[in-house]
Amino acid sequence: MRMGSQARADERGFTLAELLVAIAILGLIMGGILTLLMTGNQSYLTGSNQAEAQGAVRAALERMTTDLREGGYDPQGRGCTAVGTPAGCFDAIVNPANVAQVPGNTSFMIQSDWNGSPVAPAIAIEPGIQVGVNYCFGGPCPPAAWTPVNRGERITYSIVGGSLTRQESFVDAQPQTLMTGVQQAGVGRNCAGAQIANPPFFQYCYYDPATGNALAAASPWQIKEIIVNMRVGVQNQPPAIWQAGAVQVTMSDRIRLRNRP
């Protein structure tokens, strides 16, 4: 009789109180695991989106820097020293809407005379042509290894609808989007080096070629540097449900023209 009673006692189940305690303990453990998983996911998403945004900004800035440093290229050496002097000279940085005006806060156009024609006193810029320009990629390159690249003599950069676009005359039928989600930077620097709030996307620094002294504002032919300030978000993937994924990075640089005194 005692053996049967012992067997029946060993087959007893859990009481309701024991079951509730077990569920509570399991819930605490699972909650901790879920918190760890969410934290790790947020950290990964933040790092991934930040790296993607920085990569996009870096690529766009390098492209813009290359174009600006080539701006004003002129085999005839007719850099303007005054409005229309010498005859046929052209400005390296102009307003896309009117080349006689200074560029604006959201757009500018770069001019370069790639083919060296027509000869003076005609204006050298020909927006209706493309020229094969030899480049060296990964040099050193002997002449036989140069790579011809079709270039237009005008390149327009603009901020349109929150996107940074680039269009090269005759080469691009439509503006090409370099970055999306472009916003005004919260802080930046001006031509004097002072920190300012909400700087414009593009600022133009003017210099007197004869003295090298900075000018407050002048004509397009006196533009020597361009300051770029903007804030950019994630490009190729949505921020998803995590607030940490909606990162933004600041794009800021001061680019000097090499082909203008």
Q: pLDDT, tens digit, for every residue of 78-99?
A: 888 888 888 889 999 999 999 9
Domain count for the chain? 1
Does the residue 29 lie in any domain? Answer: no
Mean pLDDT of 177-191: 92
**Boundaries of domain holding 235:** 42-256
Local confidence band at 11 (pLDDT 50, 70, 90 cut-offs)? low
Residue 243 above 70 pLDDT?
no
Tell me how far apart the alpha carbons of residues 114 and 259 are, in angstroms, rounded to a whole number.
Answer: 13
What is the gyration radius of the CA atoms in the chain, in angstroms? 31
Does the residue 225 lie in any domain? Answer: yes
Residue 245 above 70 pLDDT?
no
Q: How many CB atoms lie within 10 A of CB 141?
A: 13
Cα dist from 132 to 101, 123, 150, 238, whole Å:
29, 20, 4, 39
Residue 237 above 70 pLDDT?
no
pLDDT at 158: 98
Q: What spatial distance separates the first Cα and last Cα of the chain, rounded to whole Å?
A: 112
pLDDT in tens, 129-144: 999 998 887 777 887 7
> For 132, phi and psi rounded to 5 degrees?
-80, 115
pLDDT at 61: 93
pTM: 0.82
Does the residue 3 lie in any domain? Answer: no
Does the residue 28 lie in any domain? Answer: no
Does the residue 181 lie in any domain? Answer: yes
Residue 159 above 60 pLDDT?
yes
pLDDT at 169: 96
**Under a CB-based contact definition with an 8 Å cutoff, are residues 191 and 214 in contact?**
yes
Instruction: Note the helical H segments in the chain.
Output: 2-10, 16-70
Query: In the beta sheet, which residues pair with residue 165?
Result: 158, 177
Does the residue 34 lie in any domain? Answer: no
The string of DSSP letters for 26-54 reads: HHHHHHHHHHHHHHHHHHHHHHHHHHHHH
Residue 4 above 80 pLDDT?
no
Mean pLDDT of the chain: 86
Does the residue 245 lie in any domain? Answer: yes
Tell me how far apart the alpha carbons of residues 221 and 101 are, in angstroms, rounded to a whole number.
Answer: 10
- Residue spans of beta strands (DSSP E) within the chain: 93-94, 107-111, 130-135, 147-152, 154-160, 163-168, 176-179, 182-183, 187-189, 195-197, 202-207, 214-215, 223-233, 248-256
Number of residues written out for the chain: 261
Pairing of strands 214-215, 202-207: antiparallel
Local confidence band at 10 (pLDDT 50, 70, 90 cut-offs)? low
Local confidence band at 32 (pLDDT 50, 70, 90 cut-offs)? confident
pLDDT at 163: 94
Does the residue 104 lie in any domain? Answer: yes
> For 88, phi and psi rounded to 5 degrees?
85, 0
Residue 146 above 80 pLDDT?
yes
User: Which one-letter amino acid corresponds to residue 136?
Assistant: C
